[in-house]
Chain A
């Protein structure tokens, strides 16, 4: 199969308008005859489910959470971008487009990114109308702040809880449609499979997490909005329940996996402390607006931060990247932190940490301003570490945070399985090899409120979708049987080792070998070890209880089983991409001063992997990327 991104012709500025005016429509009376399954109700899923229902489609929405309001989007702190140019600082759709393509290190599709930038402004308007309480200036206008990798202020926010407020907006509008009977909501339901009939996605299989019941559900199209897979690293900033299972099972049913190795390691997280730690906590990038990052100039300097004089501090981002300073993009900031720590200049326990210091900002702006901007983040830091960041600098270290990789989709957000759409963090689309801050919320809502509701109509209007016949029923039933068999198999292993312990070992391995720095011997070794660990898992994992009731160990075991397979594919992808780009740093490919060296001659493409029955036998397909508007240049933030 050849990969066709289905990018509309014409000038980049007109593509989306043109698509919308030329797309086929479903007439209003016919819309209710179509049913759509939406899996996930984070920003992407909730906004899509609500908007599809407003249009008149019948929607069935599934989440593993007890309520759609708990999706991981709730945890986003810093903000959401939009090219409003309210600050009159030279922003425009073009600039947001340019920043995102460059920030992604030229590994995203131009047409998608341009559309994203275009739609960004409507997102803010709609969210305001839904009652999202964005921060305001005294005059009542919307307030903005800056994020890394850009030189304008285009980020909208609601205290340090932007994701929560945007999600509550989407949840509210979804709830309205549930109340109206347009959406049927299924909570505590985990998707375990996609059902493909005659080459099209026509349903899913779910497990009821309270009763253990496995059932299949039919639809005319399936939308997956299940978020990212950073938890493959065990320790990450993601919620514990975030998982890869939905997209991985879809991958095994024919959806290609795009750029699995592109993961974002976020520079500002609270460093790990102990063996029992369950997750890493993000300190929003917005802190880099006012905080200055530094380490001591000399190795092994054990003095308290306050006793290290100015002249003995190395503000390394300001030194290396004077024009972006502390707001250098995430991949660069993370790698620089690793470098200074590898150099023996890290601070705190284990010397894996750097300072994020607010001393100067507090002196300049006063404590109340800092409290208003970041109060809840400071409180959270104090609670977790027992230290007061108003008086001693925060200690931070990079942590896995976001996955740019995901299921490959075309311009319509449709995967390689017709009728299977993928939106939000679950798809591979707009961020290339590195995502800029405050652009995931933007992408999730662009996909859900604006893009998918158009493109799905075009799909319905241009496809024949016969009622499911005997073959269809058989496919639904046999997929359900396969899921049942999987869960039965897991509870029957009755081995000795807890699921958690496998996940930790896999995560540590991935962090060492496929984390901030990657090289061929390390990746080859990881692939071997993942295989061995996976084999052990399937003979020795201890899953207590039964598959017929609420059994959290079982849910977890099934997710970890998928991580093993995904991890192998990530390493294969990282191994084949013998260049450095964005968050993917191949140690063999760097410039003399240690910056990432891209190789556009060989690797200017999206790597999309096809499952062929065994991960190690996955087949690579390439979607070449062309840059007609933003010219391929070496990315510099100096």
Chain B
């Protein structure tokens, strides 16, 4: 297959970027998008050009490292799929494909397609955990967790922290990410002790990081490679209000 690839090139955090046009020839339909980009880079190298900086690691759709806006859609055209699990057979031979970074106010571009998503880590550092030190745990079966609760918790916990939700939201909101983190714990008995405090501290940090507000457009759910449900946002909002009423969240 053959493609015209328009890629965002930006030398560093402060620099001005632009779309550059390259050709990708002899691409196998079985190649993944990342493999196609790797071949493109080898070609650029041969031409004496600097390869495009982009990130990918596990290539199994689970680590959340890969982050490309492909033709304006986070992770490209296939539903429930990360960039690394996207295969070239999903594109028309001869197509022009535009590749840009996951842009958002809270995700500064470091170089080309590489962005800084450490704001997510800082949100988790404020409350995305259960406070229990090693050595304190009762037997694993001491607390029974009904199967449906465990499943709901797991549905939320599947979030891979890639930031597609933020990149596709016109407000750059992180509500899907934060609500998934909160729901993972809020649906387990072990997560109850810190439920409201956790919610409030994470939401406050989210605001501090400069993520935008959620205006219920649900672009986030549509692009989420793990198809995390926006219903968790409703639960987050409720817990936030209850928490505020209870005066939770003080340090």
Contacts and interface: CB of A to CB of B under 8 A. Distances in A.
Interface of A: 47, 50-51, 54, 65-70, 72, 74-75, 84, 86, 122, 124-131, 133-142, 158-159, 161, 164-165, 168, 171-173, 175-176, 178-179, 185, 187, 210, 239-241, 273-279, 281-282, 380, 383-384, 386, 449-450, 453, 498, 500-501, 542, 544-545, 549-550, 552-553
Given A67-B121, A384-B87, 11 more contacts: A50-B134, A70-B57, A72-B63, A74-B58, A75-B60, A134-B140, A139-B144, A140-B145, A140-B146, A171-B124, A239-B58
B62 A74 contact: yes
A67 B78 CA distance: 26
Interface stretch (B24-32, B92-100, B167-175, B232-240): B24-32
A175 B31 contact: no
A276 B137 contact: no
B101 interface: no
Interface string B132-176: 111111111101111100100110011011000000000000000
A241 B57 CA distance: 6
The residue among A74, A84, A553 with the most chain B CB atoms within 10 A of its own CB is A74
B242 interface: no
Contact of A65 (B60, B65, B85, B125): B65
Nearest to A449: B134
Interface in B105-121: 110-111, 114, 116-118, 120-121
Nearest 9 pairs of A and B residues by beta carbon: A140-B144, A172-B129, A179-B125, A129-B137, A125-B137, A136-B150, A133-B154, A133-B153, A239-B57
Contacts of A179: 125-126
Contacts of B56: 240
Interface in B219-244: none
Nearest to A47: B134
Contacts of B150: 133-136
B177 to A, nearest CB: 12
A158 B154 contact: yes
B2 interface: no
B35 A380 contact: no
Given A72-B58, A276-B28, A131 B85 contact: no
A131 B130 contact: yes
A67 B144 contact: no
A51 B121 CA distance: 19
Contacts of A239: 57-59, 63
Contact of B89 (A185, A386, A545): A386
Contacts of B61: 380
A161 B121 contact: no
B50 interface: yes
Contacts of B247: none
A279 B81 CA distance: 18
Contacts of A172: 124, 128-130
Interface residues of B, number: 77
Given A66-B116, A125-B139, A278-B34, A175 B45 contact: no
Nearest to A242: B57
Contacts of B157: 133, 158, 165, 168
Contacts of A185: 121
Given A137-B147, A553-B51, A176 B111 contact: no
A66 B126 contact: no
A540 B98 CA distance: 33
Interface majority SS (helix, strand, loop, mixed), chain B:
loop
Contacts of A50: 134
Nearest to B52: A552
A550 B10 CA distance: 12
B165 to A, nearest CB: 16
B197 to A, nearest CB: 12
Given A66-B55, A134-B150, A140-B146, A161 B158 contact: yes
A51 B144 contact: no
A40 B115 CA distance: 21
B125 A136 contact: no
Given A128-B190, A140-B144, A175-B124, A70 B63 contact: yes
Contacts of A210: 110
Contacts of A279: 59
Contacts of B81: 383
Nearest to B153: A133
Given A74-B63, A129-B132, A175 B121 contact: yes
26 contacts: A67-B161, A74-B64, A75-B58, A75-B62, A125-B139, A129-B190, A130-B132, A131-B153, A133-B153, A161-B158, A165-B154, A175-B124, A175-B128, A176-B129, A178-B125, A179-B126, A239-B59, A240-B59, A273-B28, A278-B38, A281-B60, A380-B85, A386-B89, A450-B134, A544-B48, A553-B45
B141 A141 contact: yes
A132 to B, nearest CB: 8
B140 A550 contact: no
Nearest to B44: A544
B137 A500 contact: no
Contact of A67 (B46, B120, B130): B120
B184 A278 contact: no
A439 to B, nearest CB: 18
Contacts of B117: 66-67
B63 A75 contact: yes
Contact of A276 (B35, B50, B158): B35
Contacts of A133: 145, 150, 153-154, 157, 184, 188
B5 interface: no
Nearest to B130: A131
B20 to A, nearest CB: 16
B185 interface: yes
Contact of A128 (B42, B45, B137): B137
B215 interface: no
Contacts of A161: 62, 158
B87 to A, nearest CB: 7
Contacts of A277: 31, 35
B212 interface: no
